[in-house]
Amino acid sequence: MSTGAAPEVRPRTRLPRTSPSEQGVDARGVDAFLDAVEALPGVELHGLQVLRHGAVVAEGWWAPYGPERPHLLYSVSKSFTATALGFAVAEGLVDLDAPVLSYFPELDADVTDERSRRTLVRHVAAMASGHREETIERALQDPSGDVVRGFLRLPPEAEPGTLFCYNQPCTYSVAAIVQRASGQGLVEYLRPRLLDPLGVGEVGWVRDGSGREIGFSGLHATTEDVAALGQLHLAGGLWAGGRLLSGEWVEEATRSHADTSEHPDADWQLGYGFQFWRSRHGYRADGAYGQFALVLPEQDAVVAITSQSTDTQALLEAVWEHLLPALSDPRLPADAAQREQALRERLAAAQLPPVPDAGGDLPQGGFRPARGSEPASLSALRVEGEEVVLVDSGEELRLAVGRGRWAGTGPLAVSGSPSRLDVVFAETPHRLHLRLEERTGEFHGAWRTAPLHAPALSRLRSPLPGRG
């Protein structure tokens, strides 16, 4: 890897927009993809951008989600962390072949296991620390509160570098190394090197009690930010006519370093790079519940998806079946312009289905949680006129209820009927279903997908600077 100073800050450059046919893309394939995912019970799109030859050819957001709204990316955060590592390696701040422990000399006396002491930066970057199972819960129990210490004090069962295991403290350690070596937080370090040049605005990244961005998850950014990261890697580190990231690093980060063939799903069996998964077509940044930057070198294309999806393999299958042929220089139809206009109109009108308006007034007054209601922290609910008040973790959230529509312009949106309320936490993938039982005075809450970080409901949003 070459070394050198941090790149100079370039003006923010967002992705150009063109029609699909200008880039040799068949709009019929995008339409077919939308039809397919709408029929999948385990897939709910929130944002979509399709790029070819560096330009956006189709994009849409499903209200109450929108293009400027940050979205919790879950493990797509890992790929941003790996990119920070790439910059740190290029600047000579971090050595891939140095032991992880060497960046935390204060832990030297605490870490006695020889395998832990032999764990290199490249091993944790590739999820190959030698542990056979996820260690995050055990690492968090370290009495010091230091996840790196907790992780390094857990003896690996195999030699580092020989065994793949998806293990959050590996990425946490990568993030901590970059933060230690640079003397900056991840966002601060990435701002002039990656975020500003790519046109990324304010982002929020969940931090732990030590003040570190956790690295393995917690980044809230827009669908276009995800697309831009994918495009940067597709272009081998080039952006807006200049080089941001080492081409050698991009190649190294996106090739397979670890055997994942035992995974039950086809698109998770093809190997793992430095915080990127190999796919049957290209490679990807991949986050829980269907957050993706799909990088397709053969098609010179990127597909960015933010969603709430439990069947992510089915979502990828729909991309391969419908989008991939449309991105592979198909013969365009004679009525391409009309089809593209219809696609634009379809995407512009996209929204999540609101709760059907059954008529009648919302039941007024207070409700207590039924047995087994989620989340356990939601201790009471009141309906006052056309508003619902959620009492959670000692705080009150007062929300307008939309009837046959979504109400709310902030990070929460609500749609409801006399017996049901849906609350969308629109800076995350998550939706809470609330069923009201007027006869018993109880409510029953159920997550469509449970948050993997479980803060108070008022904190289920981007931790943007300045927010309480």
Q: Which domain holds residue 247?
A: 1-352
Boundary of a domain, candidates 287, 321, 352: 352
Run of H or E including 35: helix 27-38
Residue at a domain's end among 308, 330, 352: 352
Whether 465 is in a domain gets the answer: no
> Is residue 357, in this structure, part of any structural domain at all?
no
Among candidate residues 405, 401, 308, 291, the one with its CA nearest the CA of residue 351:
405
**pLDDT for position 358:** 86
- Judge whether 359 lies within some domain: no
Does residue 342 sit in the same domain as residue 448? no
The verdict on 292 and 427 lying in the same domain is no
Is 132 in the same domain as 235? yes
What pLDDT score does 227 carry?
A: 98
Q: Are residues 141 and 4 in the same domain?
A: yes
pLDDT at 6: 47
464 belongs to a structural domain: no
Q: Same structural domain for residues 107 and 67? A: yes
Same domain for 247 and 176, yes or no, is yes
pLDDT in tens, 272-303: 999 999 999 999 999 999 999 999 999 999 99
For residues 132 and 59, membership in a common domain is answered with yes
Regarding whether 93 and 40 lie in a shared domain, the answer is: yes
Domain final position from 304, 326, 352: 352
Q: Which pLDDT score, from 0 to 100, does residue 81 have?
A: 98
pLDDT digits (tens, 9 = 90+) for 123-178: 999 999 999 999 999 999 999 999 999 999 999 999 999 999 999 999 999 999 99
Report how far residue 22's alpha carbon sits from residue 211's, in angstroms, rounded to the nearest whole number. 47
CATH code where residue 135 lies: 3.40.710.10
Residues 332 and 372 occupy one common structural domain: no
- End-to-end, the C-alpha distance of the chain in Å comes to 41
Q: Are residues 245 and 337 in the same domain?
A: yes
**Which stretches in the chain have pLDDT values below 70?**
1-13, 466-468
User: Tell me, what's the pLDDT at 455?
Assistant: 79
pTM, rounded to two decimals: 0.95
What does the mean pLDDT of the chain come to?
Answer: 95
User: How would you class 290 by CB atoms within 10 Å of its CB: exposed for 0-12, middle for 13-18, buried for 19 or more?
Assistant: buried
Q: How high is the pLDDT of residue 11?
A: 45
Residue 323 maps to a domain = yes
- Pairing type for strands 301-307 and 365-369 reads unpaired
Q: Write down the pLDDT at residue 13.
A: 56
How does pLDDT run across 403-414, given as a tens digit for each residue?
Answer: 999 998 789 999
- How many structural domains are present in the chain? 2
Tell me if 10 is assigned to some domain: yes
With a CB cutoff of 8 Å and minimum separation 6, the contacts of 100 are 119, 120, 121, 123, 124, 148, 152, 173, 177
CA distance 76 to 85: 15
Cβ proximity of 296 and 324 under 8 Å: yes
The kind and range of the H/E element at 76 are helix 76-90
**pLDDT of amino acid 468:** 55
- Let me know if residue 358 belongs to a domain: no
Asked if the structure places residue 138 within a domain, the reply is yes
* Cβ atoms of 204 and 464 closer than 8 Å: yes
Same domain? For 208 and 296 the reply is: yes
Q: Are 227 and 373 part of one and the same domain?
A: no
